[in-house]
């Protein structure tokens, strides 16, 4: 969605806007606040929720993938925010998951 210039607007509240089916496929729902006029921040919002949050989901992610360096994740997200390239997106994945 970032590449399309569409900002969902609610991914910081992911449990209310993402459904995961029995095959573990995620689906984004509730686009009533989506906009093409705002700065697009879907990737950064969901990454902050999953990898930097201290809520129930953040704790589950931590249990599954282990500890990650917050500063490195924040730097990768800032880099992506300043230039939304495939290279910077892959940098986020690398930083968050490996």
> pTM for this one?
0.85
From CA 10, how far away is CA 57, in angstroms rounded? 16
Residue 58 has a pLDDT of: 86
What average pLDDT does range 21-29 have in this prediction?
A: 91
Per-residue pLDDT of 34-91, as tens digits, reads 999 999 999 999 999 999 988 888 888 888 888 889 999 999 999 999 999 999 999 9
Give residue 95's pLDDT band: very low, low, confident or very high (50, 70, 90): very high
Residue 13 has pLDDT above 90, yes or no: no
**Residues 72, 94: contact at Cβ < 8 Å?**
no
Residue 54 has a pLDDT of: 85
**Token pair of 16 as six digits:** 């209310």
């Amino acid at each position: 969605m970032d590449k399309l210039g569409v900002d969902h607007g609610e991914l910081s509240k992911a449990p209310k806007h993402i459904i995961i089916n029995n095959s573990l496929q995620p689906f984004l729902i509730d686009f009533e606040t989506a906009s093409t006029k705002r700065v697009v921040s879907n990737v950064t919002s969901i990454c902050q929720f999953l990898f930097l949050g201290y809520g129930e989901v953040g704790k589950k992610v931590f249990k599954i993938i282990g500890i990650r360096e917050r500063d490195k994740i924040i730097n990768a997200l800032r880099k992506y925010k300043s230039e939304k390239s495939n290279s910077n997106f892959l940098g986020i994945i690398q930083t968050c998951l490996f």
